[in-house]
Every structure is written in C-alpha cells, then in structure tokens.
Amino acid sequence: MVMRMAEEPSRQDSEILPASLQLITPAIEWISMHYMDPVTVPQLAQLCHISTTHLRRLFQTIMNCSPLEYLQGIRLEAACGMLLYTDHSVLDIGNQAGFATPTSFTRQFKKQYETTPGQWRIKMTRKKQEH
C-alpha cells in the first residue's frame, strides 16, 4: 500500500488539498469579514476546531503564508481600496483597516508596496485620472 501511494503522489495531493482547505475555510472566511478586528492565531484555530500548530502548518501549505501574514495582506488590500476610493486620512484608513497604530500601518504598507500610503494614494489617483 505504501508503494502504491508513493507511485501516485498527484492523486494523494489532490485528495489532501481540498480536505485541508475545507479545514481552514472558517479562518479564511472570518478574516475576510472581520479583517479590521483584532484576532489571534489561537482564536482562528478554535474557529476551525484544530490546533494552532495544525492551522499554521495548513495555512503555510495551502496559502503559502502564515495566518497573520494572510490577515496582513487582506488589511493592506482593504487599505488600498480606501486610499483610492475615499478621501479619509491615512491615519483613519490604517485604523479602519485594523492596524493597531499608524506606525505599524505605514511600516507594513511600505514593506509591501515600497512606498508610503500617502505617496501610493497620489500615484494611483494620478493613474486613475489618466485613464
């Protein structure tokens, strides 16, 4: 049986992935709907009815990032939308997107997009006006 499984890795992977994705779906859905709220990995694991370690492992395998990195990415995407389509201050947008402090928002934004939120807004607004 072990030999047969080793000869069919694609079948094994294709069966494991949907089951694993189904396990972490509650965390993904929670993050999508509540990205602006504080959350911990143990809370996400509890939603999925799995251990914290198992959640981290599955997230890394399926999503190619940790649960908190995924959350950070969703928050940054939301912030980009608000920067582009509202006239709220950068300070307010960071807060609305779920960042604990303006400094953490700016630091994470700059790490991801290699520019500050304010500079990004100016650049993207100009591009939007050109089209």
pLDDT tens-digit map of 9-20: 444 455 557 888
Q: What is the pLDDT of residue 26?
A: 97
* Radius of gyration in angstroms for the set of CA atoms belonging to the chain, rounded to a whole number: 19
Tally the residues of the chain: 131
Which residue positions in the chain have pLDDT lower than 50? 1-12
What is the DSSP code string of 52-70?
HHHHHHHHHHHHSS-HHHH
Residue labelled with tokens 């389509």: 85
Burial 62-85 (b: 16+ CB within 10 A, else e): bbeeebeebbbbbbbebbbebbee
CA distances from 9 to 13, 17, 19, 112, 123 (A): 6, 12, 16, 35, 47
| pLDDT tens-digit map of 69-87 | 999 999 999 999 999 999 9
Q: Which two tokens stand for residue 117?
A: 């939120």
d(CA 75, CA 31): 9
